[in-house]
Chain A
Amino acid sequence: MDEFEFSRGVTVGQYIPGTSFVHRLDARAKILGFIILIAAVLTTPSYIGNAICFVAVLALVQSSGLPIGYLMSGIRPILPILVVYTIFNFLFLGNYDPTGSAVLFHTPVNIGPWQFAFTVTDNSMRQTIQGIFRILDLILLGSLLTLTTPITALSKAIEGLLAPFRRIKVPGHEVAMIIAIAYRFMPTVAEELERLMKAQASRGADFGRPGRLQFIQRTRQLVPVTVPLFVSAFRRAEDLIVAMESRCYVGGAGRSAVYHDRFTSLEWISLAVALAFTIAIARTPFPW
């Protein structure tokens, strides 16, 4: 593992070309389909439904031809938070269970002035376990969407999907442009960060660990990196403004597209399948 290779962790904002049906799907249909699938993932209250959703997401990833390990590497940075969150949910969520489900485990704890209890109920266990799968599903789906869609197609799709809301003054084009620029520059900033950390390490900076909990030291170590990072981000922003203005960019008003993509049967069928899947998951009374 290389000490400074941060772009490895940034799977967001990358695009991996391919020819799978996920790649070929119109970006608007992809976004809508993913919203529908996310609804299925988030609403199912049963373990079986949860497992089915997870399998479906894995199948989708499989069909895209992307290596699942690469998609999962996007999870690594948030893994500590996920672990802590899960442990807390598991131990404490049962204390606040309003559903009155069966208590599986209850231990009061008294340490000096602190008095609390670990409680696990049937419902809190369900939420904890399902929470893990939901987060995995969301990360996989989100990565799948961005990794199989070039950023230009994604922003055009967002613009297209927001177009009906123009009547209530939603600036669809501007929103799409902001998202596109943010995504476009994420890998760039990661590269810049990498370069700066290397440069500062070359003149004596030490990004080793002075003990995990020494926040102030950790923060001070990062000053030589964050200051130049912001300086260059602002410079990049200014360059981009000049570049856009010299191409006479004035926002969305009066812009038209060269290509008008229509939904083909592929898009309609995919959306229908996604919708049917979600309704089926929501309506089936799974035993547990």
Chain B
Amino acid sequence: MTEPIIEVRDLWHWYLRRTPLESVALEGASFELRPGEVVGIMGHTGSGKTTLVQHFNGLLRPHRGSVRVFGADLADPKVDPRPLRRRVGLVFQFPEQQLFDPTVGDDIAFGPRKLGLEHAEVRRRVQGAMAAVGLPFDAFKDRYTFGLSGGEMRRVALAGVLALEPEVLVLDEPTAGLDPRGRRQLLASLRALHDEHGTALVFVSHNMDEVAELVTRVDVLAGGKTVLSGTVREVFREDGRLRELGLGVPAATELAGALRSRGVPLRADVLTIDDAVEAMWTSSSSPAA
């Protein structure tokens, strides 16, 4: 088994600590990511998902517990988190709100330029990042950023992080507020990124269908604690527990469960539409026991 690149143990974090407005956001969360993995973090609003992922590139420091990223211990105040931010790309929720440059190409080039790269290398990275998110370079590089559609702006913002060529990409609710086509495109881009470049992905979401489709392992957060952790199949088998936490299961799993309770013999770990189709074929072709 390879060493984890992100390892979080018993992490606690308070906002506005030592003021009258103090509130606890994490009370003992844990997390692990190994190279090339695709891991989902699920949880209800306010469960601490966003706070947790902001520890992955040192935006927040652990108040208690340990966070190790690429071997650096972030609990140590002497550790400079800035080099980590190039290796762990973090895409915030509604990232289109962070765009600032009037032209698309310049906005995406912001990160690479900050790294002090040569002009040609900056251009190569911007081209690569735009290709990865499905924006044609020549058609879009000189477009006016604030005149793009919401979905296009989101892809520009994602490209801005990808241009840093991070080894780990952390996405906080990347599909929130997108239409179904925007969602599909974004998920396809992410899958391609993982398959072609081996980028490890951390995918924060409360959309069960997306999680089931994209990730291999899931952590479930509730009240600042990691309450469930395992492969997608293991976690979605706990449908009662998930419903208790206000989460639920993917639509295909739900349907398979309903069919099973009416006596249709289907296997228990149906997660996606494809799974469901396959399960239906195998169950109808096999002699009903």
Seen from chain A, the residues whose Cβ lies within 8 Å of a Cβ on chain B are 2-5, 7-8, 14, 16, 66-67, 70, 73, 195-196, 198-206, 208, 223-225, 227-228, 231-232
Let me know if B137 is at the binding interface, CB within 8 A: no
Cβ-defined partner of B82 (8 Å) among A4, A206, A231: A206
Q: Which of B62-115 contact A (CB under 8 A)?
A: 82, 85-86, 89-92, 95, 97-100, 110-115
Let me know if B149 is at the binding interface, CB within 8 A: no
Whether A204 and B60, one on each chain, are in contact in the complex, defined by CB atoms closer than 8 angstroms, is: no
Let me know if B204 is at the binding interface, CB within 8 A: no
Q: Given A202-B92, A203-B89, A203-B110, are A70 and B59 neighbors across the interface (CB < 8 Å)?
A: no
Number of residue pairs across A and B with beta carbons under 8 Å?
79
Whether A16 and B21, one on each chain, are in contact in the complex, defined by CB atoms closer than 8 angstroms, is: yes
Let me know if B289 is at the binding interface, CB within 8 A: no
In the assembly, what is the distance between CA of A16 and CA of B15, in Å?
A: 16
Cβ-defined partner of A2 (8 Å) among B20, B21, B61, B98: B61
In the assembly, what is the distance between CA of A203 and CA of B113, in Å?
A: 11
Let me know if B2 is at the binding interface, CB within 8 A: no
Give the chain A neighbours of B92 by CB distance below 8 A.
195, 198-199, 202
In the assembly, what is the distance between CA of A7 and CA of B14, in Å?
A: 13
Closest residue to B61 on the A side, CB-wise? A2
Give the chain A neighbours of B97 by CB distance below 8 A.
196, 199, 228, 231-232
Q: Given A200-B98, A203-B111, A204-B111, are A3 and B20 neighbors across the interface (CB < 8 Å)?
A: no
**In the complex, per-residue mask of B126-151: 1 if CB is within 8 Å of any chain A CB, else 0:** 00000000000000000000100000
Cβ-defined partner of A204 (8 Å) among B54, B91, B164: B164
Q: Which of B220-241 contact A (CB under 8 A)?
A: none
Whether B100 and A223, one on each chain, are in contact in the complex, defined by CB atoms closer than 8 angstroms, is: yes
CB distance from B48 to the nearest CB of A (A): 16
Q: Given A198-B92, A224-B110, are A203 and B161 neighbors across the interface (CB < 8 Å)?
A: yes
Secondary structure type dominating chain B contacts: mixed
Of residues B16, B89, B98, B114, which shows the largest number of chain A Cβ atoms within 10 Å of its Cβ? B98
Interface residues on B, range: 20 to 34
Give the chain B neighbours of A8 by CB distance below 8 A.
16, 19
Whether B20 and A206, one on each chain, are in contact in the complex, defined by CB atoms closer than 8 angstroms, is: no
Could you pull out 23 A-B pairs where Cβ atoms are within 8 angstroms?
Answer: A2-B60, A4-B60, A5-B15, A7-B15, A7-B16, A70-B19, A199-B90, A199-B95, A200-B98, A202-B89, A202-B92, A203-B161, A203-B163, A204-B110, A204-B112, A204-B113, A204-B114, A204-B115, A205-B110, A206-B114, A224-B100, A225-B100, A231-B97
Whether A208 and B82, one on each chain, are in contact in the complex, defined by CB atoms closer than 8 angstroms, is: yes
Whether B16 and A5, one on each chain, are in contact in the complex, defined by CB atoms closer than 8 angstroms, is: yes
Whether A198 and B54, one on each chain, are in contact in the complex, defined by CB atoms closer than 8 angstroms, is: yes
Let me know if B57 is at the binding interface, CB within 8 A: yes
In the assembly, what is the distance between CA of A16 and CA of B16, in Å?
A: 13
Give the chain B neighbours of A14 by CB distance below 8 A.
21
A-B pairs with lowest CB-CB distance, top 5: A204-B111, A227-B100, A204-B114, A202-B90, A199-B98
Give the chain A neighbours of B160 by CB distance below 8 A.
203
In the assembly, what is the distance between CA of A8 and CA of B146, in Å?
A: 32
Seen from chain B, the residues whose Cβ lies within 8 Å of a Cβ on chain A are 15-16, 19-21, 54, 57, 59-61, 82, 85-86, 89-92, 95, 97-100, 110-115, 146, 160-161, 163-164
Give the chain B neighbours of A66 by CB distance below 8 A.
20
CB distance from A11 to the nearest CB of B (A): 9
Whether B85 and A201, one on each chain, are in contact in the complex, defined by CB atoms closer than 8 angstroms, is: yes
CB distance from B238 to the nearest CB of A (A): 32
Give the chain B neighbours of A225 by CB distance below 8 A.
100
Closest residue to B161 on the A side, CB-wise? A203
Give the chain A neighbours of B115 by CB distance below 8 A.
204
Give the chain A neighbours of B100 by CB distance below 8 A.
223-225, 227-228
Give the chain B neighbours of A198 by CB distance below 8 A.
54, 59, 92
Closest residue to A67 on the B side, CB-wise? B20
CB distance from B217 to the nearest CB of A (A): 23
Give the chain B neighbours of A206 by CB distance below 8 A.
82, 114
In the assembly, what is the distance between CA of A14 and CA of B163, in Å?
A: 39
Whether A204 and B86, one on each chain, are in contact in the complex, defined by CB atoms closer than 8 angstroms, is: yes
Of residues A2, A73, A204, which shows the largest number of chain B Cβ atoms within 10 Å of its Cβ? A204
In the assembly, what is the distance between CA of A206 and CA of B100, in Å?
A: 16
Closest residue to A192 on the B side, CB-wise? B97
Give the chain B neighbours of A4 by CB distance below 8 A.
59-60
CB distance from B156 to the nearest CB of A (A): 12
Give the chain B neighbours of A3 by CB distance below 8 A.
59, 61
In the assembly, what is the distance between CA of A5 and CA of B100, in Å?
A: 22
In the assembly, what is the distance between CA of A195 and CA of B94, in Å?
A: 11
Of residues B54, B89, B114, which shows the largest number of chain A Cβ atoms within 10 Å of its Cβ? B114
